[in-house]
Amino acid sequence: MARVRKVIFHNLKVSMPETDYLRLKEECSKTTCRSLSEYVRKLIFGRRVSVYYRNQSFDEFTEESIQLKKALIILCEQGDTKALETDWLKQKVQEMQAILNKIADACSPK
């Protein structure tokens, strides 16, 4: 008969000040680790930790572009503009969308 092996887990309790715990939790939230335990184990054993990197200036640019696009769409739908102006605005919104998609593709992590 084959012997069944039991997996034994050992717990390790660490005491730290609240500020250190909050900092650890904040650093963990920037990684791909699903739990704080996983993050701490990787740090203890010197394994690689994958960190998310966000380009804040690109995020701000994206937010501003979205707001501009919404404003242009509302302007097109108001109806107080001439048909030629509305078509021109719609064309510009589509051009902006294409340019923004190119920028997003170029800036997104591979």
> What residue type is 103 in one-letter code?
I
**For tokens 């919104």, what's the residue?**
93
| Of 4-18, 48-62, 90-104, highest mean pLDDT | 4-18
> What residue type is 86 in one-letter code?
T
Give the C-alpha separation, 40 to 21, whole Å: 11
pLDDT tens across 88-104, in order? 777 777 887 787 778 77
pLDDT of residue 110 exceeding 60, the answer is: no
**Quick one: CA torsion of 77, 81, 83, 85, rounded to 10 degrees?**
-100
Name the residue ranges covered by the structural domains of the chain: 15-52, 56-107
Give the C-alpha separation, 70 to 54, whole Å: 24
